[in-house]
Structure 1
Amino acid sequence: MNWLLVVLGAAVGAPLRYLTDRAVQSRHDSVFPWGTFAVNVAGSLVLGLLTGAVAAGAASSHVQLLVGTGLCGALTTYSTFSYETLRLAEDGARFHAVANVAASVAAGLGAVFTGVALAEAVWV
């Protein structure tokens, strides 16, 4: 049963990542990978909210598997983030490569901490 929850979450997360990435990126005329940045930050926020909810007893381990492991695991993408950063550096856009790393780490951590804080405010 647990693996099915992960598969179902991933079946939603992967297309959501692709569609969100394309929609966001199409609105920016920049070499910066805004689409990947957006899905990674959004996934971090959702994972923070979920983690806080589970810690407060407001969400079950089944929800954690479905949303945390499945959906967020497929929505967020470290491999694409790494590839796009390498591509930027190789193409001579070193500032954008460094900015991508710094902004992604800072925003991702900020989003997960914000999610946990929001969950604690609601459920604790």
Structure 2
Amino acid sequence: MIVIVGIGGGIGAIFRYALGNFVNKKVKTNFPFGTFVINILGSFILGFINHLYLDKSLSTTMWLFIGVGILGGFTTFSTFGYESIQLLVAKKYKTALSYIILSTIISICSAYIGFHIFR
């Protein structure tokens, strides 16, 4: 199972890198949209995958591969923390506060919607 999670994590990290770069090239701003989009999307998908797993529609192996591996490698709380600190150090307080509040609230809402959308 460790290998399955590791492979999934590598895939998720590649997706995170690619999507983050794509979004950041398209949206030029101080707001870290790449990480923001990744965490919102990842939260939504994780909510959905969690629902499938709890509903017994997804095997434990697939839960570990997708939920723990891919989405664990895709979403990035540590980058969220780092970018928040960077904004604060740069004295971009409004942007930092917006990023912290919006990321937290919308990620939780996305996970909730992902969990309940196909019930």
Summarize the alignment of residues 1-124 of structure 1 with structure 2, pairs less than 5 Å apart.
Answer: 2-120=1-119
Residue-by-residue CA offset, 1:58-89 (whole Å, 9 max, x unaligned): 00111110001100110001110000000001
- Separation of aligned partners in 2, 1:12 and 1:53: 21
Structure 2, unmatched stretches of 5+, are none
The separation in 2 between residues aligned to 1:92 and 1:111, in whole angstroms, is 29
Task: Give the deviation of 1:48 after TM superposition.
Answer: 0.2
Cα RMSD between the aligned structures? 0.8
Give how far 1:92 is off: 1.2
Q: Percent identity?
A: 28
Query: Conserved in 2, the CA contact under 8 Å of 1:8 and 1:66?
Result: yes
Given that residues 53 and 119 in structure 1 are in contact (C-alpha distance below 8 angstroms), is that contact kept between their aligned partners in structure 2?
no
Letter in 2 for 1:103: L
User: Which ranges of 4 or more aligned residues in structure 1 deviate by more than 2 Å?
Assistant: none
Q: For the residues of structure 2 that align with 1:62 and 1:46, how far apart are their CA atoms?
A: 17
Instruction: Return the offset for 1:97.
Output: 0.5
**Aligned partners of 1:17 and 1:76 also within 8 Å:** yes
